[in-house]
Amino acid sequence: MIKPRKTYIAEMLLGKNLITREQLDKAMEEQKKSDKKIGQILIDLGYIDETKLLHLVAEQLHIPYIDVKNYPLDPAIVKVLPEFYARHYRAIVLKHDENSYLVGMADPQDLFAHDEIQRQLNSNFSLALIREEDLVDVLDAIYRRADEISHFAETLSAQMKPDAQDIFANIQDLNAADIPVVNLIRSIFEDAVQVGASDIHIEPDKSVMHIRLRVDGVLQEQTLEDKNISQPLVQRIKLISGLNIAEKRLPQDGRFTITVKGKTFDIRVSTLPTQYGESLVMRLLNQSDALLQLDQVGMPEKILDYYKHAITSSYGLILFVGPTGSGKSTTLYSTLNTINSPDDKIITVEDPVEYRLPRINQVQVNPTIGLTFASILRSILRQDPDIIMIGEMRDQETMEIALRAAMTGHLVFATLHTNDTISAATRLLDMGAKGYLAASVLRVIVAQRLVREICDKCITDDPLTEAERIWLKSFGKHEFADVMFKHGKGCSHCHHTGYRGRHGVFELLPISEELADAMRVNNSSLFHHLASKQPLYRPLVLAGLDLAATGITTVQEVIRMTGEI
C-alpha cells in the first residue's frame, strides 16, 4: 500500500488562512491542559468546522474522506478485521475488491497501525479518512454479540447432557466467567445493552431457540440451532431470580439486579410454559440513568403547563390511560420525581415496582398471599399519605377505594387500560363508579402512546405514497396538506431501520364543569361531544401528526399508532 505522507494540521490551516496565529496559540495553551489533539481542540473552540477540517486533511493526505455512517457496509467484510484491532486502531474495512481492501481510519497517519492491519488482512489495502465518532457508532452496530452468543451457546451445548442439572451446582456469582451458561447470559445482556433493548425474549422452539431483543418497540431476532441450551439458560435465570426451578408447569415472576458495561439494571423476569419448554421475557430497567424530568417526556408545551398545574392539586384523581408499553409508567415516575418532597408522604401500589424512588414508600402487589391492589389501598389509607399512585385500577373495588381516597383529601394517580381520554371516563362509569363521585374528583385524563423517532443521522424528505396521502385526507384536516414529511433512509447508526429512540404522544382532557355535569348524569354521548370541543383536547392521531410535521417521527409510525387505537 502507499502510505500517506505526514502532514501537520496546524501548519496546513495556517497556510490556508483558515485559522489565525492567535487562535492557534490559544488552542495550544488549551492542549497543555488536556490530552486532546490540536485539531479536536480547534473544533471544540469553534475555530473550524469538523467536516471541513476532515475534508482538508483527506485532501492533504491524497486519500478520500468517507461518511461512514451513510456508507453501504457489508458486515461480513467489516468483520474480516477482528473487533479488537478495529477498536484499538480506530479502523474499519469498508470495501473489498479483487486483491485489495479499502480501510477507513480515524488517524490514517498511524504507521504502526498500518503494519498491524496489513498483517491481519494479509492483503494490500488503500486508506480513507473517517470521522472517529461515527466509527464508534458503526462498530457498536456491527460488532454485536451475536457471534459471541452463538459461541457460548455451542460451548454450553457441548458440555450439556440430557436432563443434566449439576451445571448450576455451587454457582453463586454471575462473574464466574468459566461457566458457559454464565458467559452466555452475560453476552446476551451485553448485546441487549449495546443496542438499547428494553426487553429480552428467550423462546424455545421445536429444534432451535430464539433470542429476540425489543429495540424501540420492535423485535430483532437471533436463532440458535441447538434447543438443548434453553433449559440450562432458563433454569439459571430462574435461579438468580429467586424462582422455583422445579416448577415448569406454571408461570412465575421474579427479578434480579445485574451490572453490564458499568450500568446497573433491575431485571424483571416472567416465565411462561409453552409446548416446547419455558418461554422467558426479561424487562431491563436501567437504575443507573437518572429518571426523566417532566420537561423531557415529550409533552407539548401547552399540555405540560396545564399538567404541571394539575399535579399541584391537594386532592383529586389524575388518570393515565393507554395499553401496556405506551410509556405511562415513565411519565408517572417522572411526575412522582417532580413532586417528591419531604413535605408530602407518597405511597405507591405497583405490580411490579419498576424503579425504586428515594423517600417514596413503594408496595408491590402479591396476589398469592392476598396482597391485592384493593387490600393494600385499604391499609395505606391508615398510613396518612398525601399522594397515592395506583399502578392499575383493575376492578370495581380498587376503583371505588381510589375515588373515595381522592375525595377525602388525597391526590391520587392511577392508570387504566383504555384507548383514549374520552373512553376512559366512560370506562369508569361502566366499571360501576358513581357518576357524582367520579365527576367530583376527576381532574384530568392523559392518554399516551410511543412512536419511534427518525434517526437524526439519516433523516431525509419522505414523498408519501398515494395510500398515505389518502389516509391523511381522511381526517378532513388541511393543516398538513403542504407539509414535507421526513423519514430515515437507514444507516449504521440506526441499524438501517431509519429510527433511533422513541417519543411520547400525548392527549390531554381537562375535566371542566360541563364535562363533570355530563358524568353526573351518566350521559356518555354528551360527554364525548363536549370533550372534543375542549381547547386543550387534541386527539392522539393529530398529536402524532404534529410530531411527524416537525420531523420527529414518520407518517408511517402515526398510521401504526392509529391501528393500535
pLDDT in tens, 296-325: 888 999 999 999 999 999 899 999 998 888
Of 106, 104, 111, nearest to 126 by C-alpha is 104
Q: Are residues 304 and 280 in the same domain?
A: no
C-alpha cell at 317: 384523581
Mean pLDDT for 134-148 is 77
Contact 424, 319 (CB under 8 A): yes
**One domain for residues 152 and 207:** yes
Cell of residue 88, nine digits: 484499538
Asked whether the beta carbons of 330 and 292 are under 8 A apart, the reply is: yes
pLDDT tens per residue across span 38-84? 677 777 777 777 777 788 888 878 889 988 888 888 888 888 888 88
Q: Which residues pair with 215 in a beta bridge?
A: 218
Tens-digit pLDDT profile for residues 190-219: 888 888 888 999 998 888 888 899 888 888
Backbone φ and ψ for 493, nearest 5 degrees, come out as: -65, -35
Give the domain range for residue 96: 9-135
Q: Are 134 and 158 in contact (CB under 8 A)?
A: no
Pair 249, 210 in one domain: yes
The confidence score (pLDDT) of residue 388 equals: 92
Q: Is residue 348 part of a domain?
A: yes
Taking a C-beta distance cutoff of 8 angstroms, is the pair 541, 565 a contact? yes
Query: Phi then psi for 197, rounded to 5 degrees?
Result: -75, 145
Instruction: Give me the chain's average pLDDT, please.
Output: 83
The last residue of a domain, from among 259, 286, 313? 286
| Res 171: pLDDT | 44
Query: Of 135, 153, 181, which one is at a domain's C-terminal end?
Result: 135
Residues 376, 521, single domain; the answer is yes
What is the domain-level CATH number for residue 112? 3.30.300.160
CATH assignment of the domain containing 430: 3.40.50.300
Domain annotation covers residue 556? no
- Statement to judge: residues 385 and 441 lie in one domain: yes
The arithmetic mean of pLDDT across residues 345-356, rounded, is: 85
pTM of the model: 0.67
Beta partners for residue 223, in sequence order: 210
Nearest to 220 by CA among 149, 269, 287: 149
> What is the C-alpha to C-alpha distance for residues 163 and 177, in angstroms, rounded to an integer?
23
Indicate whether 121 and 151 sit together in one domain: no
Tell the burial category of 300 from Cβ atoms under 10 Å away from its Cβ (0-12, 13-18, 19+): middle
Whether residue 511 sits in one domain with residue 393: yes
Instruction: Note the pLDDT of residue 167.
Output: 34
**477 within domain boundaries:** no
Q: Are 370 and 246 members of one domain?
A: no
For residue 496, is it within any domain? Answer: no
Could you tell me if 57 and 16 lie in one domain? yes
- Per DSSP, the residues of 148-178 read HHHHHHHHHHHH--TT--GGGTT---TT-TT
Domain presence at residue 495 = no
Which of 286, 319, 352 represents a domain boundary (last residue)? 286
pLDDT of residue 365: 83
Which strand (E) or helix (H) includes residue 139? helix 132-142
Q: Are residues 272 and 301 in the same domain?
A: no
> Averaged over 143-171, what is the pLDDT?
55
pLDDT for the residue numbered 146:
62
Express each pLDDT in 218-228 by its tens digit: 888 888 877 67
In the three-class reduction of DSSP (H, G, I as helix; E, B as strand; rest coil), residue 505 is classed as: strand
Q: How many structural domains is the chain composed of?
A: 3
Query: Does 158 share its domain with 195?
Result: yes
In a domain, 560, yes or no: no
Q: What is the pLDDT of residue 441?
A: 92
Query: Residue 306: its pLDDT value, please?
Result: 94
Specify the pLDDT at position 351. Answer: 80
Please report whether residue 275 resides in a domain: yes
Residues 169 and 92 in one domain: no
Q: What is the CA radius of gyration of the chain?
A: 28
DSSP string, 230-267: HHHHHHHHHHHTT--TT--SS-EEEEEEEEETTEEEEE
Q: What is the average per-residue pLDDT within 285-295? A: 74
Domain-embedded: residue 101: yes
**Over 60: is that where the pLDDT of 521 sits?**
yes
Rounded-to-integer distance, Cα 291 and Cα 297, Å: 10
Domain of 191, CATH number, reads: 3.30.450.90
pLDDT of amino acid 178: 44
